[in-house]
Structure 1
């Protein structure tokens, strides 16, 4: 599995801590991690709005399989990512959230609240979240006897979202201010991950056109 970590301006100072825990957990499971957001407060400036655009491009182009995002409360990132087609983002405060989201909703992104309770032992909570998010069979249901309706409802929800958006990744992004999109895709590490692993030529051509 290829996992993208993306952090915005308000929580960029915590990137090293989060990246370390995610990388250690991912390495143990033979996953790859790409640090595509801000690595510190002096890095290419991003907001949680940009994170949604980045997640949409990476996931819809199959450049990555999963996105770990977040902001101060986690709510802005959650809303931003879920605006986009092909992105199913869950809100995650503790390891139980990560486990239940993987088992019940089987989404492809998480939003964490990096400014809430991020004190002593915060790195342990983050690590345990990642362990539960990336361990075991996804979509197995919880409790097991509820698997069938849970899987069915998760699929219906995804169909509802697709029907309401009535457009793919590119159509959605073209409706935005293109300078907003350009800022989102201008980071060096984002571009490296995207262009090296993109599996959709149409989305790749769109990103190149935005970058000029």
Structure 2
């Protein structure tokens, strides 16, 4: 069972109901839990929010997006502890799960969202969340290479980027409140946060 955080960017809030409905449908089918942390703000702030949730152990997977999905992906990958893949179709969903072992996905919620946009969401979420019994793109023998590459990326990020605790300390209270503060965040973050020092830093900034 995974805890999944949904974070939709401000320009796509008009499509929130559809996105959340399809995500919850797939999550419920496979026993996952969805928390909607969307705070009607920019993809830059959403990248920070998603990184905080992942680094704190509040969620196992972040599903985010914007009009094209690209801005959301770039923002997410700016942080340690986040490996965000781009998912525009069910094939992408399968690959970021099996090959990249991503803990975050960014999706385009407007670009190419045509008549079959809802159906595409259904298939993407299905591939992303269903039990992975028979990998489509890799054999069990080569999965170890994917695990090693994921670790290499994590190690590289640690050398190139600063810990999330430093990010929280450097940003001013007004910015953090706009990025983080919501009913959903207050309900789940402090209850589920596995990093007590990080929880203390965030609490101090939000008071």
TM-score relative to the length of structure 2: 0.92
Match of 2:43 in 1: 48
Match of 1:83 in 2: 78
Match of 1:28 in 2: 29
Q: Is the 8 A contact 1:141 1:151 kept in 2?
A: no
Match of 1:41 in 2: none
- State whether structure 2 residue 100 is matched by structure 1 residue 111: no
1:82 Cα shift? Answer: 0.6
1:150 Cα shift? Answer: 2.8
Query: How far apart, CA to CA, are the structure 2 residues paired with 1:64 and 1:154?
Result: 18
Q: Is the 8 A contact 1:48 1:76 kept in 2?
A: yes
1:157 aligns with one of 132, 153, 156: 153
Match of 1:169 in 2: 164
1:153 Cα shift? Answer: 2.1
Tell me which stretches of 4 or more aligned residues in structure 1 moved more than 4 Å. none
Query: How far apart, CA to CA, are the structure 1 residues paired with 2:78 and 2:199?
Result: 21
> Aligned runs of 1:82-101 on 2, under 5 Å?
82-101=77-96
Q: Is the 8 A contact 1:92 1:112 kept in 2?
A: yes
Query: Deviations 1:74-129 (Å, cap 9, x if unpaired)?
Result: 11110111111111100110011011111011111000011112121211111111
1:149 Cα shift? Answer: 3.0
1:177 Cα shift? Answer: 4.2
Match of 2:10 in 1: 9
Query: How far apart, CA to CA, are the structure 2 residues paired with 1:157 and 1:61?
Result: 19
1:191 Cα shift? Answer: 2.0
Number of aligned residue pairs: give it: 204
1:196 Cα shift? Answer: 2.5
Instruction: Give 3-state SS (helix, strand or coil) of 2:92's partner.
Output: helix
Q: Is the 8 A contact 1:6 1:35 kept in 2?
A: yes
CA RMSD of aligned residues (A): 1.7
- State whether structure 2 residue 144 is matched by structure 1 residue 143: no
Query: How far apart, CA to CA, are the structure 1 residues paired with 2:185 and 2:117?
Result: 26
Instruction: Give 3-state SS (helix, strand or coil) of 1:30's partner.
Output: coil
Query: How far apart, CA to CA, are the structure 1 residues paired with 2:44 and 2:31?
Result: 30
Q: Which moved more, 1:141-150 or 1:21-30?
A: 141-150
Q: Which runs of 5+ in 1 are unaligned?
A: 39-44
